[in-house]
């Protein structure tokens, strides 16, 4: 009686092996995609280079900031930016402020992806770009203005440096309730000079930048508290505060923080 020859089993991995022609096709697609991305990057870089050439100089940024403050009866150049407010503002608005070249490629990519997918992310504007908008293209939300702001942001970064840009920004930004500039905001809401603000007060004021009207602590206290919580959370995330400190600060009532003094006591 003859023996039955065992039937060899074909493993699932062998059966699912991709034919050579499909592998070659996949490699060609990947290579082609890489080539397209390189071309797009070169075109984008060339376009940005042209933007840098055609946009104006930022040598007059200080003069423009002074003119904005005069128009709003605010002091210029205003107070030096104290560390607490600087940390709060950077944590919530632009946590790569001191290392980026005026623009944040990661945030820009996230913004572009959001526009394509319909899930808009408005977090692409650095503090440099926000200052460029306030000084050079106020009230203009067009695509061309946004492109100009990117080029001007880079120019501001390298013409003045982070510390001076932060001071310019703080001198002209609107904090709601008619308060333009850091000193007006600090004195108006808290009755203290910027350097005397507590961490919760600095967080409240920095939180007003995004929505100075709807987050006004005197008019919309619930909104202001929500923004304070967000900023303090960002300060924990960036290492400026510990979780224990954040918990303690968030227990302080808004009425204790906001003096509604309308000015600093002499």
The pLDDT score that the predictor gives to residue 189 is 95
Residue 256, CB half-sphere, CA atoms under 13 Å: how many?
Answer: 8
Do 28 and 158 sit in the same domain of this protein?
A: no
Do 193 and 230 sit in the same domain of this protein?
A: yes
Separation in Å, CA 193 to CA 80, 124, 184, 206: 10, 31, 9, 15
Q: Is residue 1 part of a domain?
A: no
Query: How many Å apart are CA 44 and CA 112, to the nearest integer?
Result: 13
The pLDDT score that the predictor gives to residue 55 is 81
% of the chain at pLDDT higher than 70: 74
Task: Give 185's contacts (C-beta < 8 A, 6+ positions apart).
Answer: 175, 176, 179, 205, 208
Mean pLDDT within 138-145: 90
Do 48 and 88 sit in the same domain of this protein?
A: no
Query: How many Å apart are CA 96 and CA 67, to the nearest integer?
Result: 29
Do 45 and 171 sit in the same domain of this protein?
A: no
Do 221 and 134 sit in the same domain of this protein?
A: yes
pLDDT digits (tens, 9 = 90+) for 66-120: 999 999 998 888 778 999 999 999 999 999 999 999 888 776 666 555 555 555 5
Q: Is residue 14 part of a domain?
A: no
Confidence check: pLDDT of 256 > 50: yes
Do 36 and 140 sit in the same domain of this protein?
A: no
Q: Which residues of 119-132 are buried (b: 16+ CB within 10 A; e: fewer)?
A: eeeeebbbbbbbbb
CA pseudo-torsion sign 77, 81, 85, 90: positive
Task: Give 114's contacts (C-beta < 8 A, 6+ positions apart).
Answer: 120, 121
Do 107 and 210 sit in the same domain of this protein?
A: yes
Between 38 and 244, whose confidence is greater? Answer: 244
Separation in Å, CA 9 to CA 5, 12, 15, 17, 133: 12, 9, 10, 15, 69
Q: Please identify which residue in the block is written with the tokens 């702001």.
A: 149
Q: Which residues of 72-97 are buried (b: 16+ CB within 10 A; e: fewer)?
A: eebebebbebbebbbbbbbbbbbeeb
- Report DSSP letters for 173-226, one per residue: -B-STT-BSHHHHHHHHHSS-GGG--HHHHHHHHHTTT-TTTT-TTT-HHHHHH
Query: How many Å apart are CA 134 and CA 171, to the nearest integer?
Result: 11
> Where is the domain boundary, 54, 73, 103?
54
Q: Is residue 79 part of a domain?
A: yes
Do 40 and 85 sit in the same domain of this protein?
A: no
pLDDT digits (tens, 9 = 90+) for 178-234: 999 999 999 999 999 999 999 999 999 999 999 999 999 999 999 999 999 999 999
Do 35 and 136 sit in the same domain of this protein?
A: no
Do 34 and 65 sit in the same domain of this protein?
A: no
pTM: 0.78
- As for how many domains the chain has, the answer is 2
Q: What is the CATH number of the domain that holds 90?
A: 1.10.3810.10
Separation in Å, CA 73 to CA 171, 182, 186, 262: 12, 13, 15, 14
Confidence check: pLDDT of 42 > 70: no
Structure letter (DSSP) for residue 74: -
Q: Is residue 11 part of a domain?
A: no
What is the span of the domain harbouring residue 35?
22-54
Q: Is residue 202 within 8 Å of residue 84, measured between CB atoms?
A: yes
Do 30 and 87 sit in the same domain of this protein?
A: no
């Amino acid at each position: 009686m003859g023996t039955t020859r065992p039937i060899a089993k074909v493993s699932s991995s062998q059966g699912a092996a991709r034919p050579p022609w499909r592998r070659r096709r996949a490699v060609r697609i990947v290579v082609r995609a890489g080539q397209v991305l390189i071309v797009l990057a070169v075109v984008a870089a060339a376009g940005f280079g042209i933007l840098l050439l055609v946009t104006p100089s930022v040598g007059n940024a200080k003069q423009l900031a002074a003119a904005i403050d005069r128009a709003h009866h605010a002091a210029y150049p205003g107070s030096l930016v104290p560390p607490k407010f600087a940390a709060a503002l950077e944590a919530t608005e632009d946590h790569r402020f001191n290392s980026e070249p005026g623009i944040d490629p990661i945030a820009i990519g996230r913004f572009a992806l959001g526009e394509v997918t319909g899930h808009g992310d408005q977090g692409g504007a650095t503090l440099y770009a926000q200052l460029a908008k306030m000084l050079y293209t106020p009230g203009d939300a067009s695509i061309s203005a946004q492109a100009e702001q990117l080029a001007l942001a880079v120019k501001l970064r390298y013409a003045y440096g982070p510390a001076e840009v932060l001071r310019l920004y703080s001198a002209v930004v609107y904090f709601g309730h008619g308060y333009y500039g850091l000193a007006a905001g600090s004195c108006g809401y808290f009755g203290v000079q910027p350097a005397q603000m507590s961490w919760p007060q600095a967080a409240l004021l920095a939180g007003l930048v995004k929505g100075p009207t709807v987050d006004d602590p005197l008019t919309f206290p619930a909104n202001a508290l929500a923004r304070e919580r967000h900023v303090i959370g960002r300060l924990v995330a960036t290492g400026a505060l510990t979780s224990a400190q954040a918990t303690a600060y968030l227990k302080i009532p808004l009425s204790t923080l906001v003096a509604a003094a309308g000015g600093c006591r002499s």
